[in-house]
Structure 1
Amino acid sequence: MTGLTADLLLLAYASGVFPMAEHQDDPEVFWVDPKRRGILPLHGFRMSRSLARRLRRGDYQITINQDFAAVLTACADRAETWINADIHARYVELHQMGKAHSVEVWQDGELSGGVYGVTLGGAFFGESMFSRRRDASKIALCYLIDRLNQAGFTLCDTQFLTAHLASLGGVEISRAAYQRLLRDALLLKADFTAPAVPTAQELLQRRTQIS
């Protein structure tokens, strides 16, 4: 497929489909609409005791949208990826439009982990995450879920359900159920950039209140 644009991507997400390439060097992009959809319930995120202890150590810094392009590039830096040059360019464009965002984890001055996705209304469409140090992607996900809750989002789409996401509370739902959640979320107004970055203590305290 040719002619991938940022506006077309937004229309696709609003319709419940997302783009992929077979591999990084494949110029073609195809649309995916899974029969079974992975989501991460915002009040069902599962934080293990070991992860909570890891957060309390505080040997990391969290930023929002500080280096979106670096997170995107790091997510594509693997043996198998669906992020080709066209997809990479369009997501950078979406970020410049204020429609794609990243959470970055920094350790010792280096980018050690992160997650990025697209936002529409009260829906966050998670695209990918990466980790260069132990638990860095989990830390990013913790701060992402907290941010989505604080900012008024109701849907965190993970596209597919992996064993890793299932261990964190991810579930799989039907296409029809996903479409209902998406329809309701698109009617909302949520601002990904509005909440301040919390301390680990503040994040964990909110987790306790939710559970």
Structure 2
Amino acid sequence: MYLLDQRIIFPPVQSADEDGLLAIGGDLSTERLLLAYRQGIFPWYNEDEPICWWCPDPRFVLFPGELKVSKSMKSLLKNNSFTFSVNTAFAEVIENCKTTYREGQHGTWISPDVQKAYTTLHEKGFAHSAEAWLDGKLVGGLYGIRLGDVFFGESMFSHVSNASKFAFIKYIQQLQQENVRLIDCQVYTAHLQSLGAKMIGRDSFIKILQDLIV
């Protein structure tokens, strides 16, 4: 296992173990995080653990043109059942992603250090949030990193049925208009598979990043 030090470098992603764990240690500085994402690497760890860096094979992704919208969601979108916004409540979105209960999940990987690091990325224009509002209250949303024509999704939350799905679909449609050509979903979820996400090989994923992140 590769142990990171103060140098801002990562080992080749092909050296990750079978679960995708590539390295441990280092920090969550803006410079290191941006290098990680450019190379297809992301941090994911529990608060009481050292920072763990991952690059799984295969990789779970969504090509915006393959987004699947069900009939029921098309109706919600047509009726503007929620109010949609981008980058108006980043701090609230990441806080809700941290605190919202998820069935079968104990605790959260979004520690105060993670919140601080990604808020700094937001302030520097790299991290973005998409929000769904109902009667003036934030009820769903997501956040992630935008580099070039790639969006790296990090987490989402929902307090009302379909709120996060509404925000996700609206944001993907907007990103497609902005020429974003790949959404990194990192690891499999049935929820995102229902929206069109699929597995691709890590080598293919890295090649796409090299083409889309200038």
Give per-residue Cα distances to partners, 1:66-108, cap 9 Å, x unaligned.
Answer: 0101100111113432211211110000000000000011101
Of 166, 173, 188, which residue of structure 2 is paired with 1:139?
166
Say what the alpha-carbon RMSD is for the aligned residues.
Answer: 1.2
Instruction: Extract unaligned runs of 5+ from structure 2.
Output: 1-24
Equivalence for 1:4: 28
Structure 1, unmatched stretches of 5+, are: 188-211
Pairwise CA distance, 1:167: 0.8
The match for 1:14 is 38
Q: How does the TM-score come out when normalised to structure 2?
A: 0.83
State the TM-score, normalizing by the size of structure 1: 0.84
Q: Which amino acid aligns with 2:65?
A: H
Q: Which of 172, 194, 202 is matched with 1:167 structurally?
A: 194
Distance 1:95 1:50 in 2: 33
Per the alignment, residue 206 of structure 1 pairs with none
Determine the structure 1 residue equivalent to 2:59: 37
Residue 66 of structure 1 corresponds to 88
Q: 1:98 aligns with which of 105, 119, 125?
A: 125
- Share of identical aligned residues, percent? 39
Q: Which is helix-richer, 1 or 2?
A: 1
1:122 counterpart = 2:149: yes
- 1:176 counterpart SS class: helix
What is the number of equivalent residue pairs in this alignment?
185
Tell me the residue number matched to 1:76: 98
CA distance in 2, matches of 1:80, 1:166: 24
